[in-house]
Structure 1
Amino acid sequence: MFVPLSIPSPSADWQYFDLTNWINSTFGASVPGSLRIHAYAICILVGIVVAGLITNQRLRARGAENGVVIDVMLFCVPLGIIGGRFFHVVTHPADYFAGQPLWHVIAVWEGGLAIYGALLVGAVGVWLGCRVTGLRFSVFADSLAPGLLVAQAFGRLGNWFNHELFGTPTDLPWGLEIEQSNAAWPTGLPEGTLFHPTFLYEIIWMLAGVAVLLLIERRTPLQWGRGLAFYLVWYGIGRSVFESIRTDPSLLFLGIRTNVWMSFAAIVLGVVIWVVASRRHTGRVPGAYLPGRSPAERQSEVDSSDTYTEDDEPELVSAGSSADKTETTPRS
């Protein structure tokens, strides 16, 4: 039974905005079909934009060119979405290969992006973007860490709009209200059962991670990949807990959900990166760019190659042939 402090799920009207119906009703048009803008997609896009703004500001503070984050995002965002969707589909095969239309595999707007797939493939995009722009990979990764946590918080808000990825039943007053007709409703539970709002738990955990990371950076700079290491450990710890109380189906390995194993792997990787960075790099990063790859250095090379002087003119006559340099037109 719902209680005063329970968290309601958004109504179906909040899950998407039908652009076609709005155009037809507003302008008296008769546009066929239905173009829906889903709240989940909006949350993802807003998260990407906010993460980009945060990362751009942090990169500028490290000496990078303003706006260079866009050049890197052109690589990492598409690859991250592809990787996140692929990993989700692979770990939830019953949702896509049990008689459903195959086009749902690419229906990202319906929900379903696995963060670990997005991180793995998106990291390849970051590496490619850094190769093109000349940025140090570790500088970009450290700058991205808090923005990535904020972006994921927006993504979890999208899960709330989609009525998905909720936790096990709970008697806590802040339990999440879910309709009994939900496809993920556990069999045998009575109507009115409340569930752990795992979306909210993760939002709080990730925003707390941003605060902790920024507090640490006020005392000591997190460089050479340490910011990335902090992100992996912080997110891995939280996700391993929240994933364990979710009710949505997932592949199991040794009785443990796949994403829990991935969380353990993220924690281990984060610790390894921190230890290696601490041993190999005791000083500060010399700059945001690799040697010779900063915009100023590249422009200097271009200017030096484009500079023209009289000394660059090929000598077509000998220095002693003064007669060749005089006017030879006969006088009248």
Structure 2
Amino acid sequence: MRSAIPTPTISAFEIGPLTIHFYALCIIAGVALAIWLGNRRFLTSFPQGVGVVADVAVFAIPAGVIGGRLYHVVTSPDNYFGANSRALDIFKIWNGGLGIWGAIALGSVVAFFYYKRIASAKDLPSFAYFADALAPGIAIAQAIGRWGNWFNAELFGRPLDAPWALSIPLQSRPAGYENFETFHPAFLYESLWCFLIAAVLLAARKRLAPGSIFLLYITLYCFGRFFFEAIRIDSAQSFAGLRLNQYVAGLLFLGAGAAFLKFYRRTR
């Protein structure tokens, strides 16, 4: 076997009675950076919004985690309600399994209503400006969070024989792939794509109509996710040869893309 990216041999460590999971650390690091960057971008244009990003995050982040977990459970029911599975595993989010669609959806809804509640008191602009300020940080948070999948030996694609392939231990290989040692590092592809998205959003012109940056984030992410999803081999609901997440990514790409183009034309 040629050289390959190794999978970490540990996914957690203990400090006294506490067990610290690297998956959780990656998510926390990504969220912290997203809050810092979002706050900095928002205050640059609206200095009266001191503390608003952190205040909204207190409610939006837990909502995002719940939404992401619910989406994952609903779209992967066999993992929790099928034979040889346990429903209590639903609460073990440190083992992975947060659907970005549910996380963004519920997190955005909670953020919208809480922001709207405090916006008038501080003379803040519409939620569209707030979402634009947060968009690059959200992409970076996703990029960092995907490395948690590396520690959990998950989110890899079809077998691959290349220097950048990911070596997966036998116990983590899906049924039918036990004889393959290296696979597409799908987590790495998505992480790099999200970093690229963040760079594009940060470089986007400020004169775009409010909400355009956030729509561009959704459009670009869904475009890449459609193709990354196509190489994955983990269990998922499929219809007519496409995975459920591909349908979701495709629909959101068309919807967000159309809205972005409409805003872009309006700006011009």
Q: Same fold (TM over 0.5)?
A: yes
Which of 195, 200, 213 pairs up with 1:212? 200
Q: Alpha-carbon deviation of 1:188?
A: 4.8
- Residue type of the alignment partner of 2:69: R
- Residue type of the alignment partner of 2:6: P
What SS does the corresponding residue of 2:104 show, helix, strand or coil? helix
Aligned residue-pair number: 261
Which residue pairs with 1:128 in the alignment? 113
Which residue pairs with 1:236 in the alignment? 222
Which of 177, 180, 187 pairs up with 2:170? 180
Worse-superposed segment, 139-148 or 266-275 = 266-275
2:69 aligned with 1:85: yes
Contact 1:83 1:120 in 2 (8 A): yes
Contact 2:186 2:232 in 1 (8 A): yes
Which residue pairs with 1:8 in the alignment? 6
What SS does the corresponding residue of 1:248 show, helix, strand or coil? coil
Contact 2:204 2:213 in 1 (8 A): no
Where in structure 2 are the equivalents of 1:99-110 lying within 5 Å?
Answer: 99-110=84-95
Between the aligned partners of 2:88 and 2:18, the Cα distance in structure 1 is 16
Q: Alpha-carbon deviation of 1:49?
A: 0.7
CA 260–194 in structure 1, closer or farther in 2 if over 3 Å, else same? same
What SS does the corresponding residue of 1:37 show, helix, strand or coil? strand
Which residue pairs with 1:329 in the alignment? none
Which of 53, 59, 62 pairs up with 2:45? 62
CA 110–86 in structure 1, closer or farther in 2 if over 3 Å, else same? same
Between the aligned partners of 1:172 and 1:8, the Cα distance in structure 2 is 13
Which residue pairs with 2:233 in the alignment? 247
Structure having the larger proportion of residues in helix: 2
Which of 13, 16, 25 pairs up with 1:42? 25
Between the aligned partners of 1:224 and 1:272, the Cα distance in structure 2 is 15
Between the aligned partners of 2:179 and 2:41, the Cα distance in structure 1 is 50
What SS does the corresponding residue of 2:13 show, helix, strand or coil? strand
Which residue pairs with 1:31 in the alignment? none
Which residue pairs with 1:18 in the alignment? 14
Contact 2:160 2:182 in 1 (8 A): yes
Which residue pairs with 1:141 in the alignment? 131
Between the aligned partners of 1:253 and 1:144, the Cα distance in structure 2 is 34
Q: Alpha-carbon deviation of 1:269?
A: 2.1
Between the aligned partners of 1:96 and 1:45, the Cα distance in structure 2 is 25
Between the aligned partners of 1:270 and 1:127, the Cα distance in structure 2 is 18
2:158 aligned with 1:168: yes
TM-score by length of 1: 0.75
Which residue pairs with 1:71 in the alignment? 55
Contact 2:78 2:85 in 1 (8 A): no
Contact 1:232 1:269 in 2 (8 A): no
Contact 1:130 1:137 in 2 (8 A): yes
In structure 1, the gaps of 5 or more residues are: 21-33, 284-332
Q: Alpha-carbon deviation of 1:75?
A: 2.0
Give the share of equivalent positions with the same residue, in percent. 39
- Residue type of the alignment partner of 2:33: V
Between the aligned partners of 2:267 and 2:153, the Cα distance in structure 1 is 47
Which residue pairs with 1:225 in the alignment? 211
What SS does the corresponding residue of 1:181 show, helix, strand or coil? helix
Q: Alpha-carbon deviation of 1:71?
A: 1.3
Higher Rg:
1
Between the aligned partners of 1:223 and 1:140, the Cα distance in structure 2 is 13
Which residue pairs with 1:201 in the alignment? 189
Which of 179, 182, 207 pairs up with 1:190? 179
Structure with higher RCO (Cα < 8 A, 6+ apart):
2
- Residue type of the alignment partner of 2:74: V
Between the aligned partners of 2:20 and 2:189, the Cα distance in structure 1 is 26
